[in-house]
Structure 1
Amino acid sequence: MKEKKFNILMLMQLFFAILVMVISIYVKVTENYYLFPFMFVLMGVMFLIIGLREYKRTKNLLWGGFFLCTALFILFVAIQGILINNV
Structure 2
Amino acid sequence: MERKKFEILMLFQLIFAVLVMLIGIYSKVTENYNLLPLMLILLSIMLFIMGLREYKRTQSFLWGTICLCISLYILFVAVKGIMIN
TM class, shorter-length:
over 0.9
Compute the displacement of 1:4 (Å): 2.7
**1:7-86 equivalence runs, <5 A:** 7-85=7-85
- Could you list the structure 1 runs, at least 4 aligned residues long, displaced by more than 6 angstroms after superposition: none
SS in 1 for 2:56: helix
Question: Which consecutive residues of structure 1, in runs of 5 or more, have no partner in the other structure?
Answer: none
RMSD: 1.0
Q: Percent identity?
A: 62
Counterpart-to-counterpart distance in 2, 1:51 and 1:61: 9
- In the superposition, the TM-score normalised over structure 1's length comes to 0.93
Counterpart-to-counterpart distance in 2, 1:29 and 1:5: 37
Compute the displacement of 1:2 (Å): 4.7
Counterpart-to-counterpart distance in 2, 1:67 and 1:30: 31
Equivalenced residues, count: 85
- In the superposition, the TM-score normalised over structure 2's length comes to 0.95
